[in-house]
Structure 1
Amino acid sequence: MGGTSYATYEHMSKPDTLSTWVENATPFVKARLDDKNTNPKVAMIPADFTFASKKATAAVVHITSTMKPERNVSQQIPDEFKDFFGGRDPFGQQGPQGRGQKSKASGSGVIINSDGFIVTNNHVIQGAESLEVTLANKRTYKAKVIGSDPNTDIALIKIDAKDLPALAFGNSENVEVGQWVLAVGNPYNLTSTVTAGIVSAKGRSINILGENAKAPIESFIQTDAAVNPGNSGGALVDLNGNLIGINTAIASQTGSFAGYSFAVPSSIAHKVVEDLSKFGSVQRGYLGVGISEVTAEKVTTFNLKVTDGVRVESFADQSAARDAGIKVGDVITKIDGHAILGVPQLQEAIAQHKPADKVLVTVNRDGIDKIVTVTLKSNAGNMVADVSDSAVLEQLGVELQDLTAQQKKAWSVPAGVQVGQISAGKIRQSTDMEDGFVITKVDKTPVSSVKQLSDILKGKKGGVMIEGIYPGNPETQYYAIGL
């Protein structure tokens, strides 16, 4: 990414990574010995939360987002989540606002790299004009957005600091229902708050990402650890202090904790932040299938021989699964040997891979299990890193529209594209560009369409100069960004 270098960290045979990955160790508990101090398995006293608490609170930060007027995000979400997600944050705090006034919202984040890289939720930073990060030691920093992924509600930001305490990602696939976990964040501006609970369920889909996500991936870890407004983007850790999830939402009729909270698992979050740090956007592999849950009705209707998994209903035009020999009616039961009980588990398993990765897909066809090797493709059907038009615009963090003939005449421009909503990305990170700006040239090359602008930017590295006008103001404006 333009002008920024990243350190390399040990990653369990995964070199050149931003963050650290560890396989979960035995939960941190203390054994009670028998009278002769010879048998540590006689009894176990309750797990000790202090080790994980101290480790996690040092690495969890408070994030304050300042939004420009009328740049708040609306989302279509179920009623039981509206009080929390309501316009932007399922458990963030938002200050009072009026028309034409700036508003503030607060959330949490987790330091994952000692050089100041922080993972949080996309909805914590989306639409923000500026971000302020407060560390556990009360020091404050301005933060810049490295990249974000609405499909998983994960974002990566950075502050200019060194030698910070950082959490390693633990393997959420090893997390078990009933396991103790801690939620760490800043609810109601009560900084460094720790709550304890157990994992209530895994692979939950709650349909909360809404219209901001074009291809939402939901396979949440559900816990009963208490979380409240301000916890968004905070840490869910095991008792070794390893980061196993990013707290994202709660189910509530009141807006306060009611017994259920949801976290993006580390298996997804880790992949997203690594891609954002390297490419500026997520390089996601796809099977290219339309799927549905295996239900009792489907078992009867289609005479299925298994009761768990997902049934293949259709294929995309450029389907990796179809090319590998998978057929409509097959039931996917495993990915790389891991059981697939439903759609969320399949999404989570595939979301960890990039185009050209090979995955072993176990399907049940007429009662017979078959293992098929599938080489994943990008959403555009390629077996290379996705440099599609949508990926370019996601990196910029803008929505663009071609100009109509009437607009060109009214604004006295021969050609151009107009900027719609600006979200997290290079434009917001590097400039003060406003919604409505008309881009007429990139690096002195005239721009006549969104497609042409994307083609110009594909493969560019380093500094790029964007020029154009604001409607009603003929004076040319210039904005420089780094790619």
Structure 2
Amino acid sequence: MLLTARTKLASTCKATIRIFTAKLLGSSYDLDLAVLQIQGDKAFPALKIGSSDNTEVGDWLVAIGNPYDFDYSVTTGVLSAKEREISIDDTQKTRNYKHLLQTDTAINPGNSGGPLLNLNGEVIGINTAVNSEAQGIGFAIPSSTFSSVVDKLKNNETIPKEPAPYIGVALQNITDDMLSDLKINSTKGAVVAEVEHGTPAFEAGIRQYDVILSVNGKASSSTEDITKAVQAASVGDELKVTISRDGETKDVTVKVGDKNTATNYQS
């Protein structure tokens, strides 16, 4: 049985709560998933796993959970989007979710770990997060994600992280009072506030106080533009980065690295 790590196990039969003992087989912090093995000799009913890939935007969905301790609550809505990415801070660090399903099905604290069902009663997602500043925006881990890792979790194996493209610079937006020192005449682009030795950017010759003007020929207006360009690349790609240094413009080639294997964690 696949559940998120925050799930409380319970089952109901004729309005009687049955508590089950579960053994943790394996978990993944990054994916916010865990596999628990129910202990006992009685059969435990299970729902069929459906295909999140075959679910389309606009399809009706059903969420089941215990929001605010209202046991066995059911809410309905539609699939709003697929492949959403969000970041949530917790007591350990920042968890970066990828490939999430977005739904306007009401998901509240207590729904996390509960199933998100299609109208065939198949589990196509595991409810995991909400946007606390908005209404009608909830997120679920798709079945395509947990189905691909369940065997590794059952065997308590490490789940490989997806490659995270990076070049290794800390960037800062340019303000008018920087123009003279940087010997430029526009605030478009971003100044390199820091670049560590050994990063892809350092190996390419980028240094502190260089101004990045464009990536692969596309002009950059801010740090956000540059970050998006790097994240859109694949690890191993070569990017042509146009920089300004002491008033002179030149191109450098940066080979995109993998942040997961680096010793620093800049953009």
- The alignment status of 1:184 with 2:184, answered yes or no, reads no
Alpha-carbon distance change, 135 to 229 in structure 1, aligned in 2, over 3 angstroms: same
- State how far apart, in whole Å, the 1-side matches of 2:161 and 2:98 are: 16
Q: Match of 1:260, as an amino acid?
A: I
CA apart distance, 1:179 = 1.0
- In the alignment, which residue of structure 2 is the partner of 1:282? 158
Which whole-Å deviations, capped at 9, do the CAs of 1:55-96 have from their partners, x for residues lacking one? xxxxxxxxxxxxxxxxxxxxxxxxxxxxxxxxxxxxxxxxxx
Percent of matched pairs sharing the same residue: 36
Secondary structure (helix, strand or coil) at the match of 1:212 reads coil
- The alignment status of 1:207 with 2:87, answered yes or no, reads yes
Secondary structure (helix, strand or coil) at the match of 1:276 reads helix
- State how far apart, in whole Å, the 2-side matches of 1:119 and 1:155 are: 6
Q: Match of 1:135, as an amino acid?
A: S
- State how far apart, in whole Å, the 2-side matches of 1:311 and 1:267 are: 27
**Unmatched 5+ stretches in structure 1:** 1-117, 126-131, 292-296, 305-309, 330-376, 382-483
| Alignment equivalent of 2:238, drawn from 324, 327, 330 | 327
- Which has the bigger relative contact order, CA under 8 A and spacing at least 6? 2
| Alignment equivalent of 1:134, drawn from 1, 10, 19 | 10
Alpha-carbon distance change, 136 to 321 in structure 1, aligned in 2, over 3 angstroms: same
Q: Check conservation: 1:150, 1:212, Cα contact below 8 A.
A: no
| Alignment equivalent of 1:222, drawn from 102, 113, 121 | 102
Secondary structure (helix, strand or coil) at the match of 1:151 reads coil
- State how far apart, in whole Å, the 1-side matches of 2:132 and 2:261 are: 38
Q: Match of 1:284, as an amino acid?
A: P
- In the alignment, which residue of structure 1 is the partner of 2:138? 261
TM-score by length of 1: 0.35
- In the alignment, which residue of structure 1 is the partner of 2:254? none
Secondary structure (helix, strand or coil) at the match of 1:218 reads strand
Alpha-carbon distance change, 302 to 198 in structure 1, aligned in 2, over 3 angstroms: same
- State how far apart, in whole Å, the 1-side matches of 2:123 and 2:52 are: 8
- In the alignment, which residue of structure 2 is the partner of 1:165? 45
Q: Match of 1:206, as an amino acid?
A: I
- The alignment status of 1:242 with 2:122, answered yes or no, reads yes
Q: Match of 1:145, as an amino acid?
A: L
- The alignment status of 1:152 with 2:63, answered yes or no, reads no
Which whole-Å deviations, capped at 9, do the CAs of 1:114-143 have from their partners, x for residues lacking one? xxxx32223x16xxxxxx632132221122
TM-score by length of 2: 0.59
CA apart distance, 1:285 = 5.4
Higher strand share: 2
- State how far apart, in whole Å, the 1-side matches of 2:121 and 2:109 are: 23
Which whole-Å deviations, capped at 9, do the CAs of 1:282-335 have from their partners, x for residues lacking one? 3315446328xxxxx99x86446xxxxx744699xxxx943xxx4336xxxxxx
1:431-450 maps to which residues of 2 (within 5 A)? none
Q: Check conservation: 2:88, 2:94, Cα contact below 8 A.
A: no
Secondary structure (helix, strand or coil) at the match of 2:86 reads coil
Alpha-carbon distance change, 167 to 213 in structure 1, aligned in 2, over 3 angstroms: farther
Which whole-Å deviations, capped at 9, do the CAs of 1:15-59 have from their partners, x for residues lacking one? xxxxxxxxxxxxxxxxxxxxxxxxxxxxxxxxxxxxxxxxxxxxx
**Unmatched 5+ stretches in structure 2:** 168-188, 190-211, 219-227, 241-257, 263-267
| Alignment equivalent of 2:4, drawn from 117, 121, 127 | 121
- State how far apart, in whole Å, the 1-side matches of 2:78 and 2:118 are: 10
Q: Match of 1:133, as an amino acid?
A: L
